[in-house]
Structure 1
Amino acid sequence: MARYLITGIAGFIGSTLAHALVEQGHEVHGIDNLSTGNLENLADIRQQINFQEMDLQDVAGVKSACEGVDFILHQGALASVPRSVKDPVTSHESNINGTLNLLVAAKDAGVRRIVYAASSSAYGDQPTQPKQEDMLPRPLSPYAVQKLTCEYYIQSFYRAYGLEGVCLRYFNIFGPRQAADSPYSGVIAQFTYKMMAGQTPTIFGDGLTSRDFNYVDNAVSANLLACTAPSEVATGRVFNIGTGKSHNLNEVYATIAEHLGFTAKPIYGPTREGDIQHSLADISRATAELGYSPKAHFHEGLKKTVAWYLEEKQKNEAAALKA
């Protein structure tokens, strides 16, 4: 079994990866500064992993965490377009400086491969759909610039030092454990959280904005495939991780409302700075070269996700009654 280091392990995708790796019998180490992550996401596997509360800008700490590691799954980031627009400096320090520290430590420790959670925001407002990896990037927000910059760093570390790296451009990952009570949460989490609270969610724009929403289990599969793919196929490459199908926000709203029995119509607000109108992944490269195939589809994943949020709400209410 291999030793994995997950950055951002207490976050949504990081914790889901941790559960999958523990189930497979791997040795799992993780770091997280807990600025957005939540240790509750790891509660049921806490004794089976090695966790350190740590910021990626802690040079000595990151260096120590990389020792003896086979694979790094780099999920740690301030992952939000609006947050990066509001505070580009903090976002830059976390996303770029933290990644550079991690790459240097991985190189020095002899890590076999790093798999990076890149972002489809790199494509910006390119009108061509679906998005293909060889399209010219056109990032529209500080966050998109930061994530793209880290792709280039990973590719350059392979060329300069031989550190193998694979970049996975995520397209709107959603699912259980995604934080729902933050203005920087994903739209599915936000809509569900507000409807459960009896509040009417706001759709920014006309609701025809569309995204390739991808259930988190598919992202987990992509990460594990990226670790084991042959070097000549994967190393230094970028892969889209989506489903190849898109859904607009009006459809997302209506589907969640149906699951929850929520009858109010959405509130429509102005389009947000840095947001793009449409995003759809061409996943043919990931399918052909990584063996990636999304098994969990949108409506199935959305049903599971809403059910999870309802269960968490019931748990919290029961705990509050006991307190």
Structure 2
Amino acid sequence: MKITITGGAGFIGGNLVRHLSRIPEFTEIRVVDDLSTGFEENLSGLPVRFFEGSVLDSGLLDLAFDGVDTIVHLAALPSVSRSVKDPVASHHANATGTLSVLEAARRAGGTRVIAASSSSVYGANPHIPKHEELRPVPMSPYAVSKLAGEAYLAAYHHCYGLPVLSFRFFNVFGPLQPAGHSYAAVIPAWITAAAAGRPLVVHGDGSQTRDFTYVGTVCQVLAQAALRKVSTPDPVNLAYGGRTSLMSLIAELELTLGTELRTEHQPNRPGDVRHSQADDTRLRNLFPEIEPTSLRNGLKRTVRWFLTQDG
């Protein structure tokens, strides 16, 4: 099976390439990435054909998609706070980028597209846990751009018969996740702060909750979806129903690191969702063979990786 991963030099993409390279059924792995948020070193030593460039480059996509069986579309401009600062850039990368990928898949003869959406689409809808039939109430331009991508996937299925699958990622964490920038996710930001002896910045009171998902589990699901050619126009939550407050996460980190951590509370950020937890019924029905890595074990693996990095 030949597969192309857009955004394959990023955090999730780099982990996915590693995972697929160990599965003999994947005979060729291609990566499209403009390296705006990814890093070529994430692919170092891995058996990939690398296409450097944007998913908005139709000619590049035609080359990268030619003859492949599945496209995993991970390329995006991540971060709610980044989208609040620059909503147009988020729209171009995420919504228009997804449309560009779908058009290229159609030109390639109707190639299967598995795409990353986001739990942020649920937004201000207060229902917990979040099931896929809930009305989306996006609170940020990032969430809107991801919801638009989902809608495009469904439309291309209905209009053109394109096999599609849209996963709503929740708070994915693990090795390769970048930490040293202002839009860093909370787990890598906190691990690097703890390692440097700095206080952990908590936006708000820390009682807000998240459904953290270890990247290895995400890669297992994506690989199985490609191998078994799973498709549905309806979105699927990719998380397993955990509900961890930020203060509880700090307690888990203290246990993992074996030290007490200092915190510094700052104001809430615009666009941030208060509570997030997945209903995993649809996911487990589609992928009953996969058992997720626990938050504790995922944190241990993640901390071990971060603490072995130079600098």
TM-score per shorter chain, which class?
over 0.9
Match of 2:288 in 1: 291
Aligned-partner residue type, residue 164 of structure 1: P
Q: Which residue does the alignment assign to 1:121?
A: 120
CA-CA distance at 1:290 after TM superposition: 3.3
State the Cα deviation string for residues 172-198 of structure 1 (Å, max 9, x = none): 000011011122121101100111112
User: Does 245-254 or 291-300 show the bigger shift?
Assistant: 291-300
Normalising by structure 1, we get a TM-score of 0.92
Task: State how 1:70-149 maps to structure 2 within 5 Å.
Answer: 70-149=69-148
| Counterparts of residues 234-273 of structure 1 (less than 5 Å) | 234-273=231-270
| Contact kept in structure 2, 1:225 and 1:292, CA below 8 Å | no
How far 1:263 sits from its partner (Å)? 3.0
In the TM superposition, 1:199-218 aligns within 5 A as 199-218=198-217
Mapped partners of 1:176, 1:252: distance in 2: 17
Separation of aligned partners in 2, 1:229 and 1:157: 20
Counterparts of 1:85 and 1:262, CA distance in 2? 35
Q: Which residue of 1 aligns with 2:31?
A: 30
CA distance in 2 between counterparts of 1:86 and 1:156 reads 29
Go from structure 1 to structure 2 and tell me whether the alpha carbon gap of 1:33 and 1:292 turns closer, same or farther (over 3 Å shift).
farther
Residue 6 of structure 2: aligned partner = 7
Give the gaps of 5 or more residues in structure 2: none
Checking the alignment, whether the CA contact within 8 Å between 1:222 and 1:292 is kept in structure 2 is no
Cα distance, 1:95 vs structure 2: 0.8
1:210-241 residue CA offsets vs partner (Å, 9 max, x unmatched): 1000001111122123224466xx32121111
What is the distance in 1 between the residues matched to 2:284 and 2:255? 33
Counterpart code for 2:98: T
Question: Alpha-carbon deviations, 1:1-58, whole Å to 9, x = none?
Answer: x00000001101001111111111311000101011011211131xx11011111111
SS in structure 1 of the partner of residue 168 of structure 2:
strand
Return the structure number with greater helix share. Answer: 1
Residues 262 and 87 (structure 1 numbering): CA distance in 2 closer, same or farther, change over 3 Å?
Answer: farther
Distance 1:151 1:42 in 2: 28
**Distance of 1:265 and 1:290 partners within structure 2:** 40
In structure 1, what is the Cα distance between the partners aligned to 2:214 and 2:44?
A: 22
Q: Encode CA deviations 1:61-110: one digit per residue, 9 max, x unaligned.
A: 11221111110111110111000000011111111111111110101102
Unaligned runs of 5+ in 1: 318-323
* Displacement after TM superposition at 1:262 (Å): 4.3
Letter in 1 for 2:302: T
Q: Deviations over 1:129-150 (max 9, x none)?
A: 1100011111100000000100
Check conservation: 1:70, 1:111, Cα contact below 8 A.
no
Give the corresponding residue for 2:225.
Answer: 226
Letter in 1 for 2:195: M
Q: What is the letter of the counterpart of residue 39 of structure 2? A: N
Moved more, 5-14 or 196-205: 196-205
Tell whether the 8 Å contact from 1:71 to 1:111 is kept in structure 2 after alignment.
Answer: no
How far has the Cα of 1:292 moved from its partner?
Answer: 5.9
Name the counterpart of 2:304: 307
In structure 2, what is the Cα distance between the partners aligned to 1:174 and 1:299? 12
Match status 1:44 vs 2:45: yes
TM-score, length-scaled by structure 2: 0.96
Matched residues in 1 for 2:235 and 2:300: separation?
30
Residues 66, 111 of structure 1: 8 Å contact kept: no
Paired residues of 1:242 and 1:294 also in contact (CA < 8 A): no
Question: In 2 relative to 1, CA 73–230 (structure 1 residues): closer, same or farther, beyond 3 Å?
Answer: closer
Equivalent position amino acid for 1:123 in 2? Y
Aligned sequence identity (%): 39
Q: CA deviation at 1:287?
A: 0.7
**1:259-316: CA deviation from partner (whole Å, max 9, x where unpaired):** 334434211111100001110000111111233634311100011100100011xxx2
Root mean square deviation of aligned Cα = 1.4
Instruction: Name the CA distance, whole Å, in 1 between partners of 2:229 and 2:23.
Output: 20
